[in-house]
Every structure is written in C-alpha cells, then in structure tokens.
Amino acid sequence: MTIGIAGAGAFGTALGVALARDGRAVQLWARDAAAVAQMQASRENPRLPGVTLPDTITLTAALDPLFACETVLLAIPAQALSGFLGDYGARLSGKALVACCKGIDLGRMTGPASTIRDLVPDAGAAILTGPSFATDIARGLPTALTIACADDASCALLQQLLSTPTLRLYRTTDITGAELGGALKNVMAIAAGVTIGAGLGESARAALITRGFAEMQRLVTQLGGQAETLAGLSGLGDLVLTCTSAQSRNYRYGLALGAAQDFNTTTTVEGIATASALRQLSLDLDIDLPICTVVADLTTGRTDVKTALHALLSRPLKEE
C-alpha cells in the first residue's frame, strides 16, 4: 500500500523518508512543480540538507497519484489545511486522512483533525503529533509520537502502518486532547523564547512552562479533552521539547521577539496565528488564558515585551 503525503516541507519529507527507509512506498506531493523537479534531480529537500530521499519516495506535483492513496498524511501548515480540504475534499472522501500539523484554524477555531472531520465527514480523521524535529526523524534518531483517531480499531491500523523501528507511535482516541496539546505548545514556546530573549533567565522559563501547562490543561479539559493525554507526548512531551530547544522555530521566533531582533517572516511559525485564535477562544468561552493572550497581543503589536511581561508578573497572587 502506498502512503500519500501532501506537503513536501520539512515535516512531510521527514515522515516520507522514515517510512520509505522502513520499506513503505511513499507518494510525496508538493504544489510547486519546480521544487518537485529540483528534489527529483538532487534526491534532496533543501529544508532537510544532507538527507538523501530513498528511491521508494515518488515525488509529484500532480494530484491524481496522491488521491490514488488510501491513506494520506496532510503535512501542510495548519492555516492552509481548510483551504486544501475545501478545494480537494471530494477527492479525499472515504480515505484515512492524518493531519500532520499543529495549530488552531483562525477562521474555523478548530484543531487540524476536527477541521478534517468537519470538511470531509466521511473520511477517517486522525492526527499525528508529539515531540519530534523533522531533522531528527529524517536522520533516523529515535522519536515517539501520538496518533489520535476517534475509532480505536482504525487508530491501531494507522499505528502499525506509520510506526518504524525509530519512529514509535502511541495511540489514543482523544483527538481533542492531542490536537490542542500540539497547538498550544507552540504558543508556549513563543512565550518561553520571549522570556529567554528578554533576559529573564531559565528559572523564569521553568515557571512559564509550568504555568503554560496549567493553562493548557484548563482549556483542554473545558473543551472535552483528557488531562492524561496532555500529560503525554502530544502535550507535556512536545511542550518541553519546543520550549527548550533552539531547533524550534516557535522558540527562536520568541527569542527574537524578546531580544527585539529581526526574524525571517517566511519561516513557518504556527504559534503566531494560533495565539490569536486562542485569544479569541478565551474571550468567546470565558476561559482564562493569560499567556496565550499576551502572546497574541505581542505578535499582533497590541503590546510590547516590557508591558507584556509586566502584565503576566503582576497578576493577582493565587493558589497553585
């Protein structure tokens, strides 16, 4: 069975490399025909320098080969997912569709798997999420991720299909917990980066991560997700990784923001749009999300770093 992957960015390509190395046939689709031709010729993706694409990955800019696959991984940014599904949902019906992105859609206010469920109701919606840098996966370093799907039997099939000796998948039926954990940790990573970039120190970052986790738990449980999911790979695992590693684009963006330095705006930084979505959710649902709100205010220029940090540090003292 050939596995389809839509999106030949860093993550889609890394997943393709891991699966192909373990014997799966992979159809990797990118919208840019010139980029596909370049990757075909060099057998390398510029976003993953030094990683050779195995022969069992077929690159394509044509949609028909992608739609011929029964299982399709959607590795395009979270804010682009609903547009893609809006355009091609009819061709994807009945398939297993695995969101491989992290965020909350600003227009729909849904996480990636929920967006799939809403826009392609007769597909099997799942999400693959958890702590894993694309370069680590592509280099064959050990990684463990969460696969979430409402139906446990379908989830178990995906778990088998997408696990390799170095890419271990754990499964859950708690889509809400898994998709919100992945979305929220990026916002917390921006905040952690700001904390370090502004020179507040590692103790302050540890406090930020811990209070960020409390904020994540508050939202997830109010939206029907499980605290246990959040304590796993898709929540705590990814929060720790992304808030402490300069490999993370969200963290690096926060570092630059905190230090008042420029940042390459073409980089995929999912936490920016997601912070704004969470700020809106906080108002709509009357849930206290102070860190997400401050990050949204910072990234949209409503506030500056000094005022934002003061706002967080001057909140009323309360029980932990």
Ligand X SMILES: NC(=O)C1=CN([C@@H]2O[C@H](COP(=O)(O)OP(=O)(O)OC[C@H]3O[C@@H](n4cnc5c(N)ncnc54)[C@H](O)[C@@H]3O)[C@@H](O)[C@H]2O)C=CC1
Which active-site residues does the annotation give? 185
Does 213 interact with ligand 13P (rule: CB under 6 A)? no
Nearest CA among 5, 45, 46, 10 for reference residue 28: 5
- When CB distances are held under 5 to 8 angstroms depending on the partner's kind, the choice from ligand 13P, ligand X, none that residue 101 binds is ligand X
Residue among 215, 214, 195 at smallest CA distance from 257: 195
Cα 195 to Cα 254: distance, rounded to the nearest angstrom: 8
Q: Is 132 in the site for ligand X (CB under 6 A)?
A: yes
Output the six-digit token pair for 153: 């039997």
Contact present, 60 and 27 (Cβ < 8 Å)? yes
**Cα–Cα distance between 220 and 212 in angstroms, integer?**
12
Binding at 127: pick from ligand X, ligand 13P, none (beta carbon under 5-8 Å per type): none
Tell which residue, 109, 115, 140, 139, has the closest CA to residue 127: 115
**Residue numbers 85-124 binding ligand 13P by CB under 6 A:** 102
The yes or no reply on residue 274 touching ligand 13P (CB under 6 A) is: no
194 belongs to the binding site for ligand 13P (CB under 6 A): no
**Which position's Cβ is nearest ligand X?**
9
Site string for ligand X, 3-42 (x = CB under 6 A): ----xxxxxx-----------------xx-----------
Name the E strands within the chain: 2-6, 25-29, 57-60, 71-74, 96-99, 124-129, 143-149, 167-172
Between residues 172 and 242, which has the closer beta carbon with respect to ligand 13P?
Answer: 242
Contacting residues toward ligand 13P, per CB under 6 A: 102, 131-133, 186, 189, 238, 241-242, 248-250, 270
Binding site residues for NADPH, as ranges? Answer: 11, 31, 102, 134, 249, 269-270
Q: Report the interface residues with ligand X, using CB under 6 A.
A: 7-12, 30-31, 47, 75-78, 80, 83-84, 100-103, 132-134, 268, 270
